[in-house]
Amino acid sequence: MGFFSDIKDDVVGFVRDPTDEQKALFVAVVVMIIADRALWWIDFPFVVRTTAAVGVGFIGLFVASYLITGQFVPPDGNADEEEEYVDEMDP
């Protein structure tokens, strides 16, 4: 029952104290639902409607992320350090 208890803990954590990422994802899902229903009333084809709703959801995700954190991309921890590039896939 570890799987279900983990899901329960995640849901309880989301309801009681959501992280910034959870808040942004929740906003994106709500924006996708609203866009999908709005395009359904306009009578767009299914593929166009869902693709457009996902695109609008991504825009909502970026806007919500910016409003919550104040930046679009999290800072890179070692961006200032000049390190030699090492290709991990090259033996």
pTM: 0.68
Instruction: Provide the angle, in degrees to the nearest 10, between the axes of the packed helices 20-42 and 46-69.
Output: 150
| Local mean pLDDT, 10-residue blocks, the chain (91 residues) | 84 87 90 91 88 93 88 60 68 63
Contacts of 56 (CB under 8 A, 6+ apart): 31, 32, 35
